[in-house]
A and B are shown apart, each in its own frame.
Chain A
């Protein structure tokens, strides 16, 4: 059996040569590559066999898949879905039941050491993994087996990258991000966090891996630098209002109507590494801040455990009740100040008494 190239598959699916070239240029631009690389991407698509991908789902909400199939350009999703040979993805595959599960074994046997393992969601470790059962077995087993024979792992979304809401305190099922799963084969992992990640970011990451047969350059936390090296804040179009000191004080106030900075109503843009303020969502239409809502920092580790989304200062755990740094520090400063005042009073009395004693 001859293996089809991406290009052959795309043409078979009715994508024109012109659309294909457009996609290659767009992807090169999204990846921050020079125009010359568009040709390199095109050549790769035309000559390389399709990349087999196992797309496993653990504890997750499928928002990553939903985002992925809604890639801005209708073309992009067609291209990507033809580009990768998505051998297994229980959400969008036709097969079901035992037939579907057997595909995993087939893929492992056929492409041993050469397929990409895309993880959406994460495995729970407590109760022997019983909180996530796929085909009658714990997801943890499926994950370990697929990881042992793969070439590399893509951690899609905040679940696979950081744990996300199912790992929120007290994390009863011990939902664990992929890179922290014990006993997992030591394969290279790329994190594409976000809840969900931006569709164009997902497709561009896949396009890069297909074209160059390696991961794009990663930062210290394993995220692709081209999309996660700057904060939302750094490219936010409301940044001038931040610098000017013009803030939304409450939703629906005059500042909100004028599109002021959302910092005071809890925007996490200054601490969130993602491409929302440049790539935006839904075909570049908008992103949360543009819609008047503060960024909740969904692509950051632990964003679900920082307290109120609408408070700039995080809640700190471990003080019985939760409190902000200001509440804890202010109380401590008052206590210290009060103690100093009391101490000063006692000292004064003592000194006065000693003086009286000395005079007598």
Chain B
């Protein structure tokens, strides 16, 4: 990891998020917002519109937006998997957490203690902290896989037998859950898991940015993580 020369006495910085990761992050974030809002409306449609059916395409448009955002998320996710392989070390953190390493779990515990206000100072990480890595691995990566698979299975019901979505997803996912309605229910629960993840993700980012002495939010724009030295803490990251 190439450490940058300290610009000031108290600050150092390291390049963490490469441009493709940053662009993916914000496209993905936008897609998730669109998917959550339209997904909620697909379960509970907005009030009826009046007049002739041929004058409107409201629900069709809501569903279309859901599908477009879904494809954006899927293609982005596939690209992100590629980039985990092609990019820098930080790019594969959330995909391949070192689950077999004992120190990884001890550091997760340390991070939990920091959030529980037991530890006085956080450890510093150029990329994600271990708690963030494990959270994103489970709540983002695997949840995204779950939502993509169930989502394509439901989409395949519309495109019908013979379509690739039906052949590769609906054909085994629907029988696995028993029936289509059950897949809908689980997919809908997934929406709320994402909402919970987003709340925690944004809160933790803001809090870390303020309290842990390292830049989080601006890093996702610039790619650089800067460290401020906080009192009572080792200066070495």
Please indicate the chain A residues that have their CB under 8 angstroms from the CB of B184 in the complex: 271, 314
Measured CB to CB, the closest approach of chain A to B44, in angstroms, equals 7
Measured CB to CB, the closest approach of chain A to B157, in angstroms, equals 6
Measured CB to CB, the closest approach of chain A to B203, in angstroms, equals 4
Selected contact of A244 from candidates B59, B171, B199, B231, CB within 8 Å: B59
Verify if A316 is at the interface (C-beta below 8 Å from B). Answer: yes
Q: Is the contact region of chain A dominated by helix, strand, or loop, or is it mixed?
A: helix
Per the 8 Å Cβ criterion, residues 262-306 of A in contact with B are: 263-264, 268, 270-273, 297, 300-303, 306
Would A336 and B48 be within 8 Å (CB), given that A244-B57, A329-B192, A351-B211 are in contact? no
- Once bound together, how far apart are the Cα atoms of A272 and B178, in whole Å? 12
Task: Kindly report which residue of chain B lies nearest to residue A336, judged by CB atoms.
Answer: B196
Selected contact of B192 from candidates A272, A328, A340, CB within 8 Å: A328
- Once bound together, how far apart are the Cα atoms of A246 and B57, in whole Å? 9
Q: Is the contact region of chain B dominated by helix, strand, or loop, or is it mixed?
A: helix
- Once bound together, how far apart are the Cα atoms of A293 and B128, in whole Å? 53
Verify if B102 is at the interface (C-beta below 8 Å from A). Answer: no
- Asked if residues A268 and B181 are in contact (CB atoms below 8 Å), the reply is yes
Selected contact of B196 from candidates A247, A263, A332, CB within 8 Å: A332
Which of B59, B62, B179 has the largest count of A CB atoms less than 10 A from its CB? B179
Measured CB to CB, the closest approach of chain A to B81, in angstroms, equals 27
Per the 8 Å Cβ criterion, residues 28-48 of B in contact with A are: 40, 43-48
10 residue pairs from A and B, CB less than 8 Å apart: A231-B157, A240-B53, A244-B53, A270-B157, A271-B184, A303-B179, A314-B185, A325-B192, A328-B192, A329-B195
Please indicate the chain A residues that have their CB under 8 angstroms from the CB of B49 in the complex: 244-246
Task: Kindly report which residue of chain B lies nearest to residue A219, judged by CB atoms.
Answer: B161
Instruction: Please give the number of chain B residues whose Cβ is less than 8 angstroms from any Cβ of chain A in the complex.
Output: 49
Would A347 and B178 be within 8 Å (CB), given that A245-B58, A329-B188, A333-B192 are in contact? no
Verify if A230 is at the interface (C-beta below 8 Å from B). Answer: yes
- Once bound together, how far apart are the Cα atoms of A247 and B53, in whole Å? 11
Q: 9 closest Cβ contacts across the A-B interface?
A: A329-B192, A245-B58, A271-B180, A244-B56, A245-B59, A325-B188, A243-B60, A271-B181, A340-B203
- Once bound together, how far apart are the Cα atoms of A314 and B187, in whole Å? 12
Measured CB to CB, the closest approach of chain A to B113, in angstroms, equals 14
- Once bound together, how far apart are the Cα atoms of A230 and B160, in whole Å? 7
Measured CB to CB, the closest approach of chain A to B185, in angstroms, equals 5
Please indicate the chain A residues that have their CB under 8 angstroms from the CB of B196 in the complex: 329, 332-333, 336
Please indicate the chain A residues that have their CB under 8 angstroms from the CB of B207 in the complex: 343-344, 347
Selected contact of B48 from candidates A229, A246, A300, A329, CB within 8 Å: A246
Verify if B8 is at the interface (C-beta below 8 Å from A). Answer: no
- Asked if residues B56 and A312 are in contact (CB atoms below 8 Å), the reply is no
Verify if B103 is at the interface (C-beta below 8 Å from A). Answer: no
Verify if A225 is at the interface (C-beta below 8 Å from B). Answer: yes
Please indicate the chain B residues that have their CB under 8 angstroms from the CB of A325 in the complex: 43, 185, 188-189, 191-192
Per the 8 Å Cβ criterion, residues 242-256 of A in contact with B are: 242-247, 249, 255
